[in-house]
A and B are shown apart, each in its own frame.
Chain A
């Protein structure tokens, strides 16, 4: 199908990743503003279940590459197959989720196509007929709006959670196989095994209340202050990735793209900037409270309540209030 928006889908073990539905919703919005169609591409092996899950999800055409060699293919092979499908189809723009999988695929697909690529986007829209993306710079303290020229076609990778996965009006997509000459694609690396992380003792994903600490804490010795607040509120303590990298807290406490996805009733972020890889693990929380010194910290984009202040002043005061409320401290 000429001149459509093409969404690259992501699935694992027969399950479509939620980020795909977000990209489909975004893709439909872009396609409608351009008056063109929406297509999606799925690749893998024995895809009947995935096709069935996707087919009614609002795209006009579902392109399929189903091949035994794609059963456990590495990123290089997947990128080559996607690039070949894009070449054949010539879409107006390619949308892919900025998941860890997308982070590895997007630059390779773009390089193979000689196409421009915008990663880590928080938005994509059509302004005066041109695709315009919004993406962070400098730790996310600034945003840039960037216009894409119709070369390529351009690839746009959008952050998880940046667009809601609204239900598109159901329609039955026409399923079209794409023929790719698998023999012509070099296979250099070999995926030996995919490993699932074992379940840990502390499961932050099950907690109703999470108090999460970021690098703003500055010092390992100060972490008990956060733990104390978590306990006073009756919740669990979690953290951003750098604290795990520094060895200050165990990996089971990490929230984000490469950690756990959580959606508690309450998420209190203390000294966390709100990088896309952190937000993608917690932006579905019912109530988000952010305490950060920097008024431009991207965490305030998703927060319901924000406090622009030093966490070392606010956290002890909040702990005190919570204890008072439980009657642990005489007021």
Chain B
């Protein structure tokens, strides 16, 4: 089975966040790019499926040259090939357009993504990609079972303690839920070895896309700010003992 897994590099912390001129994107200084955790679970699932059924895993990311670290981590964890799309796109629907264009250049039976990224928190890119490729999809997938040559059976969360078992024809795209596999630790030696491996890269023009095709449409940012206090929270200060005593007083009122 040929699996492509989409993994995003996200900043561990951000500073100097402001709206970019034109209002279509957010500018920030990001520190230490890491693999988006939801996507790391998708990667682990891809590798587990390869171990069980054979095939190969290609990891696909998008971003500047610094996102290569994400690809090396994926290779160290067991991915076979790694591709970076050289584009910096925040809008999730536009990301779907670009990822779909890259996938058209690849061979695959299954595409895995995470559910959401910690920076945009929008949970859109996976299904947007599937829709552009007119591919069946499922969200918040907790189990994947290969049950035929051309089909898979999955379990997904519906919320409220409900799950659905769904059979999908391949190729399909799954937005994998966290916890589907344990996260594996990569020893530094393996990471060093992975850094020797070759990476492929696609430019937007390689994908037949022009910059203006991927400008986010239909909205603009007005303002970015720390979450407003709704005013209901009362903050308790003082030594740990003082805070604890005050808290217990409040707690007793409600019990």
Contacts and interface: CB of A to CB of B under 8 A. Distances in A.
Contact of B140 (A103, A117, A147, A320): A103
B202 interface: no
Q: For chain A, give the interface size range.
A: 35 or more
Interface residues of B, number: 81
Given A137-B224, A146-B222, A318-B247, A107 B124 contact: yes
A308 B236 CA distance: 8
Given A116-B93, A309-B240, A261 B160 contact: yes
A111 B236 contact: no
B139 interface: yes
Contact of B123 (A103, A154, A190): A103
A116 B96 contact: no
Contact of A266 (B26, B225, B240, B251): B251
Given A12-B162, A195-B162, A138 B251 contact: no
Interface string A289-330: 110000010101111111111000110111011100100000
A32 interface: no
B180 to A, nearest CB: 9
A318 B241 CA distance: 8
B158 interface: yes
A194 B162 CA distance: 7
A189 B166 contact: yes
B33 to A, nearest CB: 14
A111 to B, nearest CB: 3
A317 B220 CA distance: 47
A141 interface: yes
Contact of A136 (B121, B229, B252): B121
A152 B166 CA distance: 30
**B interface secondary structure, majority:** mixed
A147 B224 contact: no
B250 interface: yes
Given A99-B159, A192-B166, A306-B236, A208 B128 contact: no
Interface in A123-155: 132, 135-149, 151-152, 154
A242 interface: yes
Contacts of A136: 121, 227
B230 interface: yes
Given A141-B226, A296-B227, A307-B235, A151 B217 contact: yes
A112 B123 contact: no
A152 B240 contact: no
A120 B124 CA distance: 10
A193 interface: yes
Contacts of A110: 93, 124, 128
Interface in A79-109: 99-101, 103-104, 106-108
B220 A146 contact: yes
Contacts of A75: 137-139
B244 A265 contact: no
A191 B164 CA distance: 7
A144 B224 contact: yes
B166 to A, nearest CB: 5
Nearest to B167: A190
A115 interface: yes
B106 interface: no
Contacts of A289: 247, 250-251
A320 B219 contact: no
B206 interface: no
B226 A313 contact: no
B188 interface: no
29 contacts: A12-B160, A107-B123, A107-B127, A107-B128, A115-B218, A140-B121, A141-B227, A142-B224, A143-B227, A144-B26, A145-B224, A147-B222, A152-B218, A154-B218, A189-B167, A189-B169, A194-B165, A245-B41, A246-B183, A300-B233, A304-B233, A304-B250, A305-B247, A306-B235, A316-B240, A317-B241, A317-B243, A321-B241, A325-B252
Given A192-B165, A309-B240, 16 more contacts: A17-B160, A74-B166, A100-B159, A116-B217, A119-B122, A119-B124, A140-B121, A146-B221, A147-B222, A154-B219, A195-B165, A266-B251, A304-B232, A304-B250, A305-B247, A325-B248
Interface of A: 12, 17, 74-76, 99-101, 103-104, 106-108, 110-112, 115-120, 132, 135-149, 151-152, 154, 188-197, 208-209, 233, 241-242, 244-247, 257-258, 260-261, 265-266, 275-276, 286-287, 289-290, 296, 298, 300-309, 313-314, 316-318, 320-322, 325
Interface of B: 11, 14, 17, 26, 41, 92-93, 96, 115-116, 118-124, 126-128, 130-132, 136-140, 153, 155, 157-169, 172, 177-179, 182-183, 216-230, 232-236, 240-241, 243-245, 247-248, 250-252, 254-255
